[in-house]
Each structure stands twice: as C-alpha cells, then as structure tokens.
Structure 1
Amino acid sequence: MVKRTEVLLIGGRSGVGKSAVGQEVAALLREADVAHAMIEGDLLDQVYPAPPEDPRRTEITRANLAALWSTYAVLGHHRLIYTNTVSVLEAQMLTGALDAPGPVRVTAVLLTAGDAAVEERLRGRERGSELELHLRRSAYAARRLDAQAPEGTVRVATDGRGVREVAAGVAALTGWLG
C-alpha cells in the first residue's frame, strides 16, 4: 500500500532559522524513529549565471526536487521536510514536482523574526562579502512573505526562542510524532 505523501514546508526570511529548525525537526523525528527526508531548497537552484529573479530558477528547483524525491520515494519515504525562503508561496509547484500518487498533505509554516534578531543572526553567520545584500533581501522577503503567504500558513515567531522549542512546535503541527 502506498502511503500518502506529506510535506512540511518551512519558509521565512534569511536569518529567521529555517535551516536550523528544519534540522531540529529532523532530529526530533529521528529520536521518535519516524521515517522522513529533508531537503534544503536553497541548494537546488545555486547556478551562475542566473540572477535570483530569473524565472528559470523555478524550473531548476522543480527539476532538482523531482530528481531527489524520486530517489527517496523509491526507498519508501513519504514524509518530506523542505526548507526555503519562499517555499510557502510555491507549494503547488513543489508538491507537483513530487509526482505523488494522490493528493499531497502540506503543512506550511512561515517562521518570523524581527529585524534586530535577524541582523544579529546574519552578522553571526555571514563571513563573506554579502552581509549587506542578505540584510536587504531578508527585509524584502519578510514584507513579501507577510503579504503573500496563503491562507492556512502557520506563522511561528522565532525571536528569543531556542531552536529546539521552535522545532518542537513546528513538528507538532505535522502530526508525525503521534
């Protein structure tokens, strides 16, 4: 029997904690012996030249996600944690790339944080020349996501909270832990 495909989309501006929360959700699932796969969506379209706003990036993301997921699905996986800034805005494209047999159950989570918390986090992690670019893009993404996140997207604040605490709340939204 084929199990229904279920996807946890974790979106949010740069510096909000998407990757850390996704990794911690995965750790909680491992601790509970719950099968799953995790894909860091930011890595699926890292190609140059193709500016971030280039529409071909969406096709690159879709094709790479389809290729990765097909491998995981052959292994019997039906739960996916997917992190990417705009994942909650692209749920239809992302779930379509999975080529699942039947409807896909999506839990869409938008992590939020204020400018001060995000700047502190980005200053702590960005060691190269693009800090200012990340700060500007993060602020733009925060406004866009706030305005365009679809109905049903659950907003979870990360300001002043530990990664494990946020991840536990996000994992609970999926129902995967029983």
Structure 2
Amino acid sequence: MSSDVVFIGGRSGTGKTSVGFEMHAQLSATDVPHCLIDGDFLDMAHPAPSQHNLAERNLAAIWANYRELGYHRMIYTNTASVLPKEIARLTTAIGTNPNVTAILLTCTDATARERLSQREIGSALARHLASSVDMGTRLQTSAAASAHRIPTDDRTVADIAREIINLTGWQKSAAPMP
C-alpha cells in the first residue's frame, strides 16, 4: 500500500501545529487511520545536530514503526517542509515513494505578531518575530509550485483543517487498519 503524507509548512505564527492537532481530531472522529508528527521536535537539541541529518534519521525511524503497525497516512508539520529541497529530503527519509500534499499556511505580519505574542512568553519572542518575517518571505517565493497556499487570517483552526482534509481525500478513502 502506498503512503500519503501532508507536509504543512509556514512561517511562525501561521498555526501549523494547531492545524495539525485539529486535523488529528477531525480524522480521529471519523476513524481515519493516520499519524501526526511535529518536525520541530525531531532534532531539537543544543548544539544543533543539523550536520548529522538527525531530523531525517528520526523521521525515518518513527515512520518505519508506524508503517510496521499498518499506518500509511502522515500529517507532518514543520516550517520549511514545503520547500522543494526539504520535500525531497523528507520523502527520501520516509521512503515508500509517498503521495505528497504540500500545504503552505500564510498570514499577515500583524496576525503572526499577535499569535506569537500570545504563544512565546519567554525570552524567544523577539527572535521568533524576526525569523517569522524572514521565513514568510522565503516561503512565499520558494515554496514548491505544487503547494496549496492557505491563508489563516480570520479563520478558525477547524475550518482550515477541514479544507486540508478535503484536499487529501482521506475521509473518502478511509480503510480500517489491518
């Protein structure tokens, strides 16, 4: 059975994690087998182990475990996951030549600032605000041409998750776990 993956990318403050959790809730409510992986935690360490491809190695290991249990649908959230180079690295790590749906969540600077100000209560707010603007520009110009661009300003997380689920067709094709 082929694998399906949704890569949800976007600058900080677009709602990637919240949308991923909501997709999980909606798919679970309709008994659609899937897994949710937040890529931010696959190599969160100091010093950063980026030169060791730890995120990809951990993703490969986690996905192998899910596949062994019969899962073939993955929701993966990570800022840069919709850039062509990242899609290639992630799909190589996943193996099984997955069907990819790339989603770029977008929002205005004001929305990102408001959301990050509520979320980042520690010393990282200024850094997150600056990197969010920079990454927003990079993603707008460099995201995969096939990426669906979905604005998140003034929309509910439930509505955005429903839109992405509709793009995947997962609810129509849901099959029980073996």
One of 59, 65, 68 as aligned partner of 1:71: 65
TM-score w.r.t. structure 1 length?
Answer: 0.93
Residue 96 (str. 1) matches residue 77 (str. 2) = no
Q: Equivalent residue for 1:162?
A: 156
- Deviating beyond 6 angstroms after TM superposition, the runs of 4 or more aligned structure 1 residues are none
Q: Equivalent residue for 2:175?
A: none
**Structure 1 counterpart SS, 2:135:** helix
One of 100, 109, 119 as aligned partner of 2:103: 109
Aligned runs of 1:8-157 on 2, under 5 Å?
Answer: 8-50=6-48, 55-56=50-51, 59-89=53-83, 90-100=86-96, 103-157=97-151
Deviations along 1:84-106, one digit per CA (max 9) or x if unpaired, are 00001111111111121xx3100
Distance 1:171 1:93 in 2: 24
Aligned pairs, number: 170
RMSD between superposed Cα atoms in Å: 1.1
Identity of aligned residues (%): 46
Runs of at least 5 residues in structure 2 that lack an aligned partner in the other structure: 173-178
Deviations along 1:93-151, one digit per CA (max 9) or x if unpaired, are 11111121xx3100000000000011000000111001000000000110000010111
